[in-house]
Amino acid sequence: MTASVIIYFLGASAALTIAPGPDNIFIISQGIAHGRKAAVITAWGMCSGISVHTACAAFGLSAVFYSSALAFQAVQFAGAGYLLYLAYKTLHEPSFFPSQTSSAKWSAASLFRRGFLMNVLNPKVALFFLAFLPQFAAPSSPVFVWEMLFLGVVFMLQAIFIFSIIGYFSGSVGDYLAQNAAAGKFMSWLTAGVFISLAIRLALARR
């Protein structure tokens, strides 16, 4: 694998990460709801899920989602159900903004787990890596698996960097909105709506 291939892969990965999508929306909603630190931790959790998809793509496990409708739908509906659960939790929180809630309620582990599960329980992400990574690795190479794993690490690192920036600035928006008491209720419904729309989008996705 040449340096030019790695640079091209990094550029393509960054463009895909920056492009508006469910991941960006998810991190922004967490930043507005729970602040900068929570958004960054959630982003790290989400990006750590890339390691799972990379390993599955490298060792051919993601091909199961491509060939088996049952496996795809099982993970698909589990992910959609988890997003609906997050919507329910959002609407039943006593207060939306972090300054108005107990800091113990949102531990680093729970926020990290939230991002991780949101990423892993999306079979479309698995199929994305199965299709994307081999374009930059040579299937005939004796170190093909290692090249795939290396590309996955590169993708994960740039995603951590970009999503951390997005989370930091979305947390700034949350700090500003927290000064307005009426904004809390509106943001609860808005965030729940985001989770519900993401759940519907995932549930209706096709292989």
Write down the pTM of the prediction. Answer: 0.71
Mean pLDDT of 19-23: 75
- Token pair, residue 201, equals 């989008």
Q: Is the pLDDT of residue 28 over 50?
A: yes
For 167-187, how does the pLDDT look when each residue is reduced to its tens digit (9 = 90+)? 888 877 766 655 555 555 666
| Residue 19: per-residue pLDDT | 78
Exposed / middle / buried, residue 92 (Cβ in 10 Å: 0-12, 13-18, 19+) = exposed
With cut-offs at 50, 70 and 90, classify the pLDDT of residue 10: very high
For 94-125, how does the pLDDT look when each residue is reduced to its tens digit (9 = 90+)? 554 444 444 445 678 888 988 898 888 877 78
What's the rounded Cα separation, in Å, for the pair 67 and 162? Answer: 33
Domain boundaries, the chain: 37-203
Of 34-48, 75-89, 139-153, the least confident: 75-89
Say how many C-beta atoms besides its own lie within 10 A of residue 45's C-beta. 23
